[in-house]
Structure 1
Amino acid sequence: MTKNLFPGDDGFEAASRPWNLTVQQPVTSVAEVTEAAEVAELVRHARRTGAAIAVQPNGHGASGNAGGAILLRTGGLDTVEVDPGRRVARVGAGAKWGQVQAEAARHGLTGLPGSAPGVGVTGYLLGGGLSWFSRKFGFAAGSVLAFEVVDADGEQRRVSADSDPELFWALRGGGGDIAIVTALAIGLQAIDTVYGGRVMWPGQRAAEVLELFRALTFDAPEELTVWFNHVQPPGAPAMAGLDLTFYGSDSEAKEVLGRIDELGGAMLDTRGTLALSELGTITNDPTDPSPGLGRGELVPVLDERVVELVLGELAPLIGFQLRHLGGALARPSDLPSGSLAEPYLLYAFGAGIGPELTEAVRGRLARLTEELGDSVSGRRPYTFLAPGDSAAQAFTRADLERLRELKRARDPQGVFRANYPVLG
């Protein structure tokens, strides 16, 4: 049975709070469901009353756009069933990547997750999904085989490339503004272990580490993904490092990554063979809600301006990250996410602790685009949009208009409200 919470009720504040505590969303109520039929009933109620519904399993992608809406929590729809023979997983809308990876790993299989096992599968895939394995397999949304949804009429449906090709196209990376997903079927890859980990050096060696990153990514096989980090966590000295995954034999990994050992002098080196259920240990992303702000930009070339930025003063930020893209992500795609011609993603991030630091971080992030000028493309992957951004920044003009036409046709009353609406 649906649990409804309203302002003033015990538990309402916690239930309405997004994962990022800097985001505010004054919703009218919270509905927590455990069955798809309850979602359908809620949608029919919203249609009758003129309400809007914002869906968040756990609020990782919250943008502050849910104000005045009913907040639908689908975390109770968290079943994961793996068919190893078909290499397919049926995943409930509330399941997290850690659950999927643990179940798939039992059969020597993997999905296409990002770095954080606590992130919800559905929101990640609705936004395209950049995985450790995307250089080989492309956007993670391309692994979705079918969706179970509730449409704007409150009807439960199964959507596939055969049953409704237009909606299927939109859901595989278009942001989830046109239907509520209650479950989905994803294809799995037959990979049971990877070589991966984190290597860190003192901050004064950041320029050397960045040059190493350049060398590794210049001729990287698609099985290798490397991220460069220049960070200074609160109360700690500055550090520079690499996060990486490579799926292949240990001997191949050591050959590809030999330059790391040549640099030497690492203060931390966690590299080794990992089970697919252990991917989250590479970055050890926070698992509890926390206040933070970030900004992502796609980078065509690591030119002088980008290098000066990522090697320069960190404060008031915690740090800068460069992710290597390319490979399959750069090839033509029939997904709303399209292809990413840019070979790098720059991500700047800071804490939102206290009003003074929060404003300082927000101001620093706001100046990034101006400082970088044409060193960045201006486009951002959907899952890297931040409060204040628009869905228009994630799609080509043609794909954005296609999404908008579908939104107008399938949800003319505006029952559904995505974190970044395509009509916004």
Structure 2
Amino acid sequence: MNDLNTLRHAVHGRVWLPDDPGFDAVRRPWNLAVEQPAAAVVEAAGADDVAALVRFARAEGLGIATQPNGHGATGRTSGTVLLRTARLDSVRIDAAARRARVGAGVPSGRLQAAAAPHGLTGLPGSSPIVSVAGVALGGGLSWFGRAHGWVADGVIAFDVVDARGRQRHITAETDPDLFWALRGGGGDFAIVTALELALHPAPRLYGGRVLWAAGHAPDVLDAYREITAAAPDGLTVWFDLLHFPGADPMVAIDATHLGDAEEARDLLAPLDRLPRPLSDSRRMMEVSELGGITAEPTEPGPGLSRAELLTGLDDTAAKALLAESIAPLLSVQLRHLGGAFARPSDTPHGPLTEPYALYLFGVPADPATARAVAGKQRGLAEALPVSGRKPLTFLNPGETAADAFSPAALGRLRRIKQHHDPHNTFHGNFPVGG
């Protein structure tokens, strides 16, 4: 029997055990539709706490599942200590070298806010509250990925605690295999306490959302296909079908452009030939304002998601996408990929050659609705030209690492796991062992 009470003496940070008040709240993941069991929850005060926790877990035969706030959780945490890293929150910008060093708990929005005064940017996704480390460990799709590739491509070094409880600095030179695995292979190999990554020039940024009534969706999708067929790498455009409770269905275009407003307007000119929109928030903005474009929720809630990569978006695919209402889904999103995503990448994912990513989301208000949401997601996926693989950070709890990686990459990841963590102390959201 594990004496989990001794955890309180092993670490300086806070420890919650199952009988403690508030335990059920702190063990919950971001997605409240996922049940996440845990033997204990530890909020580390620093890297020394992480090392002490690893030594404790090894001695007691426990696993560790690491989460800043629980994005991407799958519930595969039975018998583990849930490690919260939100207090590992340092941010250091080296503007001259165009580099940043961030703690494992730093959300994307904080890095963007720190980089913005220097005319620099990280590679942020749509949500400013997801951790930089979590995104990088999963590969990472970004607003600026068409210009700069995977978030993981830009990682220069990791500070980690390994399975023996040692604090180590990992680079391509010090440990090529572990460095490769950490840049997109998930959280199965070591606990990242900080990472160093490249920043990119962003002296000018234009972006925003244009919103129409859903009846204009065919014309909006035609304009979207026209824009993305010739888009330069600095332009990223997403297409959204939206149906929120209590509101009429809508269709939106979300865009960012690494450049000035005049050039962006020229590139997005097909949108100006469409009927007058309900709203248009496009403007010059700071990189720290990107999270406002899609205005994703900033508080936990239940959800069911499914993602796919599309091999194309021809007339047949466009017709299938718009064939019927998206209900009971709340959103159907197409993200334009290509550009630097499709170029060589020494990461577990490798190049992302599919031109579009599809993301389907609904809320499982009750079991019947959950079944309807899953059925709608399945029907849309079966009607569209999907490639059969998907990014690790887009997997849902019912999927595995085999849905993200090629057999060769997955085999290499498993060998690295066995070498660096033979006792399976570290439990990533999507274990490479299955």
Structure 2 length-normalised TM: 0.95
- Aligned pair partner of 1:89 in 73, 97, 100: 100
SS of the residue 2:296 aligns to: coil
Q: 2:345 aligns with which of 310, 321, 333?
A: 333
Distance 2:359 2:46 in 1: 37
In 2, are the aligned partners of 1:192 and 1:276 still within 8 Å (CA)? no
**1:415 partnered with 2:414:** no
2:333 pairs with one of 281, 297, 321: 321
Shift of 1:368: 4.1
Distance 1:284 1:254 in 2: 22
Cα distance in 2 between the residues matched to 1:95 and 1:183: 9
The residue correspondences of 1:30-41 to structure 2 (distance < 5 A) are 30-41=41-52
> Is the 1:310–1:320 Cα contact (8 Å) retained in structure 2?
no
Structure 2 match to 1:78: 89
Asked if 1 retains the 8 angstrom alpha-carbon contact of 2:348 and 2:405, the reply is yes
User: Once the 2 structures are TM-superposed, how far is the Cα of residue 308 of structure 1 from its aligned partner?
Assistant: 3.4
Please, which runs of 5 or more residues in structure 1 have no aligned partner?
none
> Following TM superposition, by how much is the alpha carbon of 1:303 offset from its aligned partner in structure 2, in angstroms?
3.7
Find the aligned partners of 1:294 and 1:304 in 2 and give their Cα distance.
Answer: 25
Structure 2 residue corresponding to 1:363, chosen from 363, 371, 375: 375
Q: Calculate percent identity across the aligned residue pairs.
A: 52
Structure 2 vs 1, CA of residues 364 and 196 (structure 1 numbering), >3 Å: closer, same or farther? same
Return the letter of the residue paired with 1:92: G
Matched with 1:49 is 60
In the TM superposition, what whole-angstrom CA distance separates every residue of 1:158-200 from its partner, at most 9, and x where no partner exists?
0011111111111111112100000001110111331000001
Which one of the candidate residues 281, 294, 313 is aligned to 1:302?
313
User: Counterpart of 2:255?
Assistant: 244
Check the 8 A contact 1:230/1:310 in 2, yes or no.
no
Separation in structure 2 between the aligned mates of residue 366 and residue 413 of structure 1, nearest angstrom: 37
Q: Paired residue for 1:388?
A: 398
2:120 aligned counterpart, secondary structure: coil
One of 107, 110, 129 as aligned partner of 2:140:
129
1:170 aligns with 181
Where structure 2 has 5 or more consecutive residues not aligned to the other structure, the ranges are: 1-11
Where 2:106 maps in the other structure, the secondary structure is coil
| 2:295 counterpart residue number | 284
Q: Is the 8 A contact 2:321 2:380 kept in 1?
A: no
2:427 is aligned with what amino acid?
A: R
Letter in 2 for 1:328: A
Q: Is the 8 A contact 1:82 1:89 kept in 2?
A: yes
Q: Which amino acid aligns with 2:118?
A: H
Give the secondary structure class of the aligned counterpart of 2:357: strand
- In the other structure, the counterpart of 2:354 is 342
Moved more, 341-350 or 353-362: 353-362
Cα deviation digits, residues 328-365 of structure 1 (max 9, x gap): 11112111111111100111111122333223213333
Spell out, residue by residue over 1:190-240, the C-alpha distance to the aligned partner (whole angstroms, 9 max, x if none). 113310000011101100000011000001101000000111111110111
Partner SS for 1:174? coil
Q: Does the 8 A contact of 2:305 with 2:362 survive in 1? A: yes
Report how far residue 304 of structure 1 moved: 5.0
> Are the aligned partners of 1:112 and 1:140 in contact in 2 as well (CA < 8 Å)?
yes
Q: CA deviation at 1:12?
A: 0.9
Distance 2:103 2:268 in 1: 38
Residue 377 of structure 1 corresponds to 387
The one-letter code sitting in structure 2 at the alignment partner of 1:379 is: R
